[in-house]
Amino acid sequence: MVKDGDDALVRLDLPGVDVGKDVTVEVERGTLVVSGERRDERAEQTEGRTLREVRYGTFRRTFTLPTHVTGDAISASYDAGILTVKVAGAYANAAAQKIEITT
């Protein structure tokens, strides 16, 4: 997660992934969850035979959100193999707050 002014950005490299079909971005109990599946299918013809190879794997990344952030503050876009999730206002009012110690 990278700070961009008051916003937070999460960038994930997902080249060749069908984000509309294989990727989910959701907020779950104060946590941003990005999950999905990578699929890579290749076919090669040699000497009259077809060799087909399928590689796949699932992924899941979680990021704890500040308590004031809701799903309405989150947007996602995909361009050139990179999924960018923007958490608007994640760092707003993020100044340290001193807590008094009672004795």
* Residue 37 placed within a domain: yes
The token pair that represents 79 in the structure block: 């361009």
Question: Rounded distance, CA 68 to CA 78, Å?
Answer: 26
Question: Rounded distance, CA 34 to CA 84, Å?
Answer: 11
* Residue 67 placed within a domain: yes
Q: Report pTM.
A: 0.75
Range of the domain at 48: 2-87
* Residue 32 placed within a domain: yes
What pLDDT, in 10s, does the model give residues 16-75? 888 999 999 999 999 999 999 987 777 788 888 888 777 778 999 999 998 889 899 999
CB 13 within 8 A of CB 24: no
Instruction: Name the helix (H) or strand (E) containing 22.
Output: helix 19-22
Number of domains in the chain: 1
